[in-house]
């Protein structure tokens, strides 16, 4: 399965979700690959920050090119799950990442600004479904402020007949930045912490959703 983590709005935590979800899948026994499709190369930078003596949980490769949808399937076939850390903004790279994916995860912060900013990515995914009928997409709440009810009403605006909102939510926590600075994930730094629990729950829900959709197809 190829999961594209995409949103045309910057700063929603695509790279953070990409590497931490990859860790959750890898620790659960999946063969995982992360593809950095953003010219900024954030996932590659994270990977290079990892200490040489620390064994990687998964490989990270750079493929920020508009032929991604044609080139990636041959590479991805050797892995159970491939995660694409996508580029912001509507572009050839964004379209290629969508077409390369089986499932699009759209991270959004519980803010009206994020609601408004999803219009472009939603349009691109619906456009791509004309060429890739089985393409699935979901919203996931990321960077929710801990112990607040902010955004509860805003989330209703994300309800779409073909774009469900996952129940699992990831909160804003300092451990994400602290672990990233070391080239690590929250599951490695604080395996029993709330951040690790949230990421694992999101990973499990993504797999359940994909399995349900496959059975319904």
How many domains does the chain divide into? 1
Question: SS3 for 82?
Answer: strand
**According to the model, what pLDDT value does residue 147 have?**
67
At 111-120, the pLDDT tens digits run 767 676 777 8
Q: How confident is the model at residue 186 (pLDDT cuts 50, 70, 90)?
A: very high
Q: Averaged over 185-199, what is the pLDDT?
A: 96
At 59-69, the pLDDT tens digits run 999 999 999 99
Encoded tokens for 216: 């319904």
| Mean pLDDT over the full length of the chain | 88
Dmax over CA atoms of the chain, in Å, equals: 47
Q: How confident is the model at residue 190 (pLDDT cuts 50, 70, 90)?
A: very high
Domain span at residue 24 reads 2-216
**According to the model, what pLDDT value does residue 157 have?**
64
Q: How confident is the model at residue 21 (pLDDT cuts 50, 70, 90)?
A: very high
Greater confidence (99 vs 9) lies with 99
CATH of the domain at 174: 3.40.50.300
In contact, 171 and 194? CB cutoff 8 Å: yes
In contact, 138 and 172? CB cutoff 8 Å: no
Encoded tokens for 103: 């499932």
pLDDT tops 90 at residue 55 = no
Q: Which residues does residue 82 pair with via DSSP β-bridges, in sequence order?
A: 2, 33
At 153-185, the pLDDT tens digits run 556 666 655 688 898 989 989 999 999 999 999
pLDDT tops 60 at residue 212 = yes
- Quick one: which of 93, 79, 149, 108 has its CA closest to 9? 108
Predicted TM-score (pTM) above 0.85: yes
């Amino acid at each position: 399965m190829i999961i594209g983590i995409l949103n045309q709005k910057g700063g929603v935590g695509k790279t953070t979700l990409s590497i931490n979800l990859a860790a959750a899948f890898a620790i659960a026994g999946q063969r995982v690959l992360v593809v950095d499709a953003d010219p900024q190369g954030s996932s590659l930078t994270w990977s290079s920050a990892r200490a040489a003596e620390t064994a990687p949980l998964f490989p990270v490769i750079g493929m920020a090119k508009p032929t991604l949808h044609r080139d990636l399937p041959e590479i991805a076939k050797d892995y159970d799950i491939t995660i694409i850390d996508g580029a912001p903004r509507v572009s050839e790279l964004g379209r290629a990442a969508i077409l390369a994916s089986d499932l699009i995860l759209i991270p959004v912060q519980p803010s009206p600004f994020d609601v408004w900013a999803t219009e472009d990515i939603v349009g691109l995914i619906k456009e791509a479904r004309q060429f890739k009928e089985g393409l699935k997409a979901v919203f996931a709440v990321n960077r929710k402020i801990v112990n607040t009810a902010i955004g509860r009403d805003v989330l209703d605006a994300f309800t779409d007949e073909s774009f469900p909102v996952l129940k699992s939510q990831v909160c804003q926590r300092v451990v994400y930045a602290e672990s990233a600075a070391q080239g690590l994930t929250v599951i490695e730094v604080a395996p029993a912490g709330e951040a690790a629990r949230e990421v694992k729950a999101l990973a499990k829900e993504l797999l359940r959703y994909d399995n349900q959709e496959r059975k319904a197809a």
